[in-house]
Structure formats: structure tokens, C-alpha cells
Amino acid sequence: MEDFKIKLYQRCMDFVLQRIDTAETALKQAQEASNDDTKSSAGDKFETTREMMQQDIARNKNLLFDGQQNLQLLSSLESVPAAGDTVRNGSVVYTSKGIFYISISAGQLNVDDQVVFAISAASPIGQLLTGKRAGDSFSFNQNEYTIKDIH
């Protein structure tokens, strides 16, 4: 079972590293475009273009910051001890309606022919799961879930 968790962790790590790489590339391109832009005789057009470039740079900086935070959170999960009896960061939770990996919001992952939803503990369903034990039930989006097992 621990091998399954390692594969989930690695999928999430790959997801985060790809997002960081994409954000860094987009940020670099946006900064280069901003530096290459020269003022034209159409002042208003220049200012609008410049503002759009600044917004693009700011958006990419936010994406990069988010990716770095996710990387830090994932790195902290590496040292989390094996499953306890309650759901927490790093837990793989088997429910009556699916499997959840409490880590980062990476969405649906396919590992060993199983569908797993990588979710953040801060997400709405992550908040409902955190602190629960095997046998506990909860309701989310008008669906009833029962926790079968925690790893």
C-alpha cells in the first residue's frame, strides 16, 4: 500500500514541477516582451499594451508563487509518518464514493488503474475529511460518503 502512496506523491510532484516550469517560462516571455516593447506615436495604445503586459507578468508571478507553495507543502508530506487513524495531510482516504489523496489540488489522477482525486486539505471536501476516522460519514454536494479506510 505504501508503494501506491509513493506513486500518488510522485504524480503530484510532477504536476507541481510542471506548473512551476510553465509559470517560469511564461513569466520570462512576458518580461522579455515588456522589455522589447518600444513607445509608439500612439500613446494610448502603448499604455494599454504596457498595462496588459504588466497584468500578464503579475498573473504569472502569482502562478509561480502558488506552484512554489504547493511544492513546499508536498515536500513537507515526504516526512509525514505512515497513516494514522484520522485523516490529515498525506492521507489516502478510501470512501464509498472514491479515493482521495489529501495533499494538493491536482485533480483526478490515475494510478495503478485506480482513479484518485488529489485534493487540498483546505478545499471544501478536504475540510470535511480532515480529522475523520474510518467508519465516519459526511455529506458533500448532496452525496453521502462513508470512510472505509485511511492509509
Cell of 61: 508571478
pTM (predicted TM-score): 0.82
CB atoms within 10 A of CB 83: 18
Cell of 67: 506552484
Backbone angles phi, psi at 75, to 5 degrees: -60, -35
Identify the band that residue 46 occupies on the pLDDT scale cut at 50, 70 and 90: low
User: Which residues, in sequence order, are CB contacts of 146 under 8 Å at separation 6+?
Assistant: 95, 96, 135, 136, 137
What's the whole-number mean pLDDT along residues 122-151?
A: 96
Answer yes or no: is pLDDT of 124 > 60: yes
pLDDT of 47-90, one tens digit each? 777 788 889 899 999 999 999 999 999 988 876 665 578 999 99
The DSSP-derived string for 92-147 is EEEETTEEEEEES--EEEEETTEEEEEEETTSHHHHHHTT-BTT-EEEETTEEEEE
Cα 94 to Cα 82: distance, rounded to the nearest angstrom: 15
Select from 27, 105, 31 the least CA-distant residue to 64.
Answer: 27
